[in-house]
Structure 1
């Protein structure tokens, strides 16, 4: 069964999901953040089929999140190192972890915590406004067409309705007394 590609959709969430493709890809990245670099280590830690891991690593290299570095010539073996693009994805993984800790962790608490080396405290990810640093919550945000929204789609009635409906929902929630 062929999967639908979201690579050209005018939505960064859809494009990111297209890059991720499945549940294994974020887990491969998680292991890379843990310091795993070699194929056999990824395979051992994840228990993933070798062909599936090979495909995921190839995709992450092709997309520029990992780079291959030769560490043995006989036989040829590679390490997979995070690139700047791959390191920048950490915030997404950290936000997913915090959401999972909040909504899916058992009574014992989170299965793993982030420890911030700079301040020597356990912490979690928070999504904040880049301008005012307030927590960024869905009810406080409206989506608007950005400069990269395709010109050919801007005037379509369904697109206009989508953005008008979202703006209207935002206005009506502002008018409700607290």
Structure 2
């Protein structure tokens, strides 16, 4: 595991891993680049074309994603003289976030989803299951617990 560049306790406002995560992948081009790499597009030109990102911004985002341990550069199998971008373990772990954004967008933003995820011969439908107990999770059963000293759900105590 790489050392994180963003400490949840050092972001402005409430100490929060969401805020720290958004500092790493919270811009449009970062998650779209991860999407493209996950779809098998490892070359800069492919990622640029499929994201429509300005190349200077995309180059900066890809460098940051490599520095943050989300992507790694390594030789392309079909052209070992050139490097491509590949997901690390942290990058593969982001795919759950991307799948949830896809699910949300399909439900709330379009009548005809432009991309479907398949599992074997059927459409993939994610199911929320607790890793700890294995039970299906109803969102109403999830409750936040503040662990940051000096904070409550309503804000700072001081």
Answer yes or no: is 1:111 the counterpart of 2:107. no
Look up the match of 1:128.
129
TM-score (norm 1): 0.71
Look up the match of 1:160.
152
Q: How many angstroms apart in 2 are the aligned matches of 1:161 and 1:99? A: 25
Query: 2:25 is matched with which residue: 20, 29, 32?
Result: 20
Q: How many angstroms apart in 1 are the aligned matches of 2:86 and 2:137? A: 32
Look up the match of 2:95.
90
CA shift for structure 1 position 6: 7.6
Computed over aligned residues only, the root mean square deviation of the Cα atoms, in angstroms, reads 2.3
TM-score (norm 2): 0.79
Q: How many angstroms apart in 1 are the aligned matches of 2:87 and 2:25? A: 15
Structure in which a larger fraction of residues adopt helix: 1
- For these two proteins, the number of residue pairs brought into alignment is 143
Q: How many angstroms apart in 1 are the aligned matches of 2:100 and 2:38? A: 14
CA shift for structure 1 position 58: 0.5
Runs of 5+ consecutive residues of structure 1 not aligned to the other structure:
164-178
Runs of 5+ consecutive residues of structure 2 not aligned to the other structure:
1-5
Q: How many angstroms apart in 1 are the aligned matches of 2:35 and 2:153? A: 38
CA shift for structure 1 position 21: 3.3
Look up the match of 1:59.
64
Look up the match of 1:11.
16
Of structures 1 and 2, the larger Rg is shown by 1
Misfit runs of 4+, over 3 Å: 70-73
